[in-house]
Amino acid sequence: MVLNSRIYDNLLLQLQDEKYHVPDNITSSLQRFADIIYNSDQEDKFSKPLVWIGIYIALASLCCILAMAADILHGLRSRKLWFPCKYFTINAASLSVIAVAMKLPVDLSGLFPGEVDQMAKLGSVAFMCTMMANLLPCLATMDDNAMLANIIALGVMVITLVVNVCIQIRTGVIPHSIIASIYVAMLLLLLILHVSSSLAILKSKRILEPKYQQRHYKEASTLTGELLTVEKLREHVSKYWIMAGSGNPEFIIACCPTTTASGVICSLTTMLHSLTMVWTFMDINDCGSAYDWTTKLIVIVQFIGVLLGSVAQLSRCFAPLRFYKVSIKSIWNRMKVFKVESYWTQKLSDLKDGSISFPFRTHKRKVVIKNLKSLIFNVFIKLQKVVVVVCKIIALNPFISIVCVVYFLRCLKCLSKAVCCSLGKEDDNLDESSYVLQLEDENELAKRTLKGLLKSLNQLIKSSEKKEPKNLMNLIYTKSTAGFQGVKMFDKNNDHGQCSSTSKVEYRDCWSLAVVTLATIAVTLRKIKKVEVDSLLKSVREGLDYVTLVEKNLNATPDYVSSQKAAERLWQEVDVCHKWLGIGLKDIASQVNKSDCQEDPTMQIVHLFLEKAKNKISKSGVGSKDGDSEFTSICANSMVRITETMIKDNEKKSFDELISSRIADIMAACLTNLPQVIAMKCHTCVIEKREACVKGAAQLLGETKEIIKTIQDPSRNVSSMHPDNMPFIDKWHARICEP
């Protein structure tokens, strides 16, 4: 029978009965235990939810592990073995999840009597060390304000964790004081490395920025006024890829000694934690805390996280060595560990020399404060130099070990001279080495970095070629005409780009609106076979992605945006709902009078679209500026102009050929701007986003290079258009209509 406070109170009442003759002093003594039993009952009651909290801790730890695993997979896929932090980064969400995962070591009131319970506390601290080491590269992805806020938040969390663990070591709650003290020291060292790295990142960005801008202006000036062929685009993209990759702050911090040092600390933590885990699994059933069986779950999950994080950190330690030539000379250069580059301490020097506003006017106080400030920052500068030197010494060990292994393999194969000769020949052909951005000028690093970057670019473009829009290419190749005559023929009105006489809503024609309007008519025509319609729609779907990209990058002016938004909305209605301005396309087709021999059914559909478009314009509200009325007016006006032109061209060719040809010509003429879009996407002013922008440009080049070659054929006379006029359909129309 389980003794609880209610049963104990009943027993005391029975003992107080006179028939048992129990002395009063005994009953009084027993009464004192009632409060103890009551408190024990209450503690058991309040401890029941702790099992669920333990599951919550395990799930939070699992989220962190999955984020680290995602970074590893992303690094392997992109061939970046320094594993950039794309998913596991420092932000409000991740810090909240980490705080939940660290619940056990900050629990000062709970009882953890078993070996597994103790290992759960120690394992959480080891897991925190691993996560901090893996979070270090993500500092380079933040701007100055975000970095300051996140470093402060991380520092508060780490210091809180350290203080709580130290209290438990002092009070004996954690009996393994030596292991816990080692973990605490490693946590503090990792926090120092985070602060030290952030100071270097702030200055390194300012060093790299003018170097990037100088090369950007040089490259941009060479492209002015010339036709960008695929070969020129590839060369252009490669130069920006090199600048973005070598000047990526995350790559810079991955090659820093602080990252290598954090990897070494993480590895030591993993080895120590693995040894303690072996010892703990001998007493795997020794659990006595209120978290019950969930402590085992937490220990196992976080141990997996420690192992996974250690794998990533080991790769980060050795990955930068791929960019250095393995030789005795490189070892000698790396031995200069006592040289601390200026970017490590420049930020502190700037803060030291900066002026501060004083809340008082007394000169003596100002002098005292200024001297005190200089003294404090001098100490910080000295400490920063010590940290950098120690990290360089630590980072030298894996480099020397790799050099020894490589030389041993070279000696076994007897190919050292052949390797040196082949490397020398490759270096002579690397003309883009001047585009490698570095904090310090190192030709050796530039050449090794260049090889890796060019190889990754070639692989990216090659993989993107597999995603080329085949339906769009087939449409342009088979239906597009010489000189893109469809741009001239789709609308023969002289007031091109203006509103219809029946509407006062002004708008500009855009590429996507013309394509969507023509595609709407094509879907409804009965003469076109379903297979051909489906093929045309697939081509339009693929083409509109690139047409929209051109419009957003090159003619996103206010007078064109309304038409572009209308086209995007109309296409969703046509493609998904098979409607045009709320009218079913099947309903329009069903209104054709087959018994009417005077007019072709196809022409009847065109007349029906014209009639319904004019009705929509008259009902949309003259001069109205609300969203629906403007959308209806823009789309209806486009339909009126295009159907009127088609009626004029009725006798010239069949409608299926006419519509397909005009759609192909319009999209092909628009896509002549793709080279300019690719060149634009290579550059951005935000240093943290440059690599992603150039990657998008390289993928776009790989997908569309065959299209660019096709539309740049000399027979199409693209070079006759002025580059400033090419993004606008109305200027294309005017140019083609010239005698």
* Per-residue confidence (pLDDT) for residue 383, from 0 to 100: 94
Residue 100 reports pLDDT greater than 50: yes
8 A C-beta contact, residue 124 and residue 305: no
Please give the residue that has the higher pLDDT: either 545 or 22.
Answer: 545
- At 114, the pLDDT band (50, 70, 90 cuts) reads confident
pLDDT, position 2: 46
CA distances from residue 9 to 29, 196, 281, 523, 731 in whole angstroms, order as listed: 13, 63, 42, 86, 96
Q: 275: buried, middle or exposed (CB in 10 Å: 19+, 13-18, 0-12)? A: exposed
Does the pLDDT value for residue 494 go beyond 50? no
* pLDDT score, position 277: 85
- pLDDT band, residue 270 (cuts 50/70/90): very high
Given this model, what pLDDT does residue 22 score? 56
> How many angstroms from the chain centroid is the CA of residue 219?
27
Looking only at the bridges linking them, the beta strands covering 583-584 and 579-580 are: antiparallel
Query: Which helix or strand (DSSP H or E) is residue 488 part of?
Result: helix 485-489
- Minimum mean pLDDT range among 40-54, 113-127, 161-175, 404-418: 404-418
Burial class (CB in 10 A: 0-12, 13-18, 19+), 602: buried
pLDDT at 590 over 60: yes
Q: Where is 584: in which H helix or E strand?
A: strand 583-584
Length, in residues, of the chain: 739
Averaged pLDDT for residues 276-305 = 80
Segment 516-520 shows an average pLDDT of 92
Q: What was the pLDDT predicted at 430? A: 44
Q: In the predicted model, is pLDDT for residue 112 greater than 80?
A: no
Q: Take residue 119 and report the two structure tokens written for it.
A: 């290992």
Query: Can you give the pLDDT at residue 618?
Result: 84
- Residue 57 φ then ψ, to 5°: -65, -45
Task: Give the pLDDT confidence score for residue 502 in this predicted structure.
Answer: 46
Residue 1 banded pLDDT, cuts 50, 70, 90: very low
CB 228 within 8 A of CB 707: no
Over pLDDT 90: what percentage of the chain? 32
Q: State the average pLDDT over residues 322-327.
A: 55
Q: Which residue has the higher pLDDT, 653 or 580?
A: 580
User: Quick one: pLDDT band at residue 621, thresholds 50, 70, 90?
Assistant: low
Distance between alpha carbon 717 and the CA centroid of its chain, in Å?
A: 40
Amino acid residing at 174: I
Output the pLDDT for position 47.
55
Q: What confidence score (pLDDT) does residue 425 get?
A: 43
Q: Which residues have CB under 8 Å from 304's CB, separation 6+?
A: 65
Radius of gyration over every alpha carbon of the chain, rounded to an integer in angstroms = 36
Confidence of residue 630 (pLDDT cuts 50, 70, 90): confident
- pLDDT above 50: residue 426: no
Which residues, 6 or more positions from 459, have their beta carbon under 8 angstroms from its beta carbon? 79
Residue 24, pLDDT > 80, answer no
The Cα angle at residue 115 between residues 107 and 304, in degrees rounded to 5? 80
**Whether the Cβ atoms of residue 61 and residue 101 lie closer than 8 Å to each other:** yes
Q: What is the pTM of this model?
A: 0.82
Is the confidence at residue 564, as pLDDT, over 50?
yes
Asked if residue 537 lies in contact with residue 471, where contact means CB atoms within 8 angstroms, the answer is no
Other beta carbons within 10 angstroms of residue 33's beta carbon come to: 13
Residue 276 has pLDDT above 50, yes or no: yes
Place of tokens 């309040």: 46
Q: Residue 739 above 60 pLDDT?
A: no
Statement: residue 67 has pLDDT above 90: yes
Angular region, 491: left φ>0, alpha ψ -120 to 50, beta rest? beta
Confidence of residue 273 (pLDDT cuts 50, 70, 90): very high
Q: What's the N-to-C CA distance of the chain in angstroms?
A: 107
Q: What is the distance of C-alpha 214 from the center of its chain?
A: 27
Q: What is the mean pLDDT of residues 1-8?
A: 52
Q: What is the mean pLDDT of residues 579-608?
A: 78
The predicted pLDDT at position 685 comes to 87
How large is the average pLDDT for residues 361-384? 86
Which of 156-160, 444-448, 712-716 is least confident? 444-448
Per-residue pLDDT tens over the stretch 142-190: 988 899 999 999 999 999 999 999 998 888 888 778 899 999 999 999 9
10 Å CB burial of residue 479 (0-12, 13-18, 19+) is: buried
pLDDT tier for residue 197 given thresholds of 50, 70 and 90: very high
Of 260-264, 607-611, 670-674, 721-725, the one with minimum mean pLDDT is: 721-725
| Confidence check: pLDDT of 3 > 70 | no
Residue 441 confidence (pLDDT): 67
pLDDT band at 18 (very low <50, low <70, confident <90, very high): low
| Band of residue 506 on the pLDDT scale cut at 50, 70, 90 | low
**CA nearest 658: which of 525, 500, 546?**
525
Distance CA 659, CA 653 (A): 10
Strand, coil or helix: what is 579? strand
Per-residue DSSP letter, 580 = E
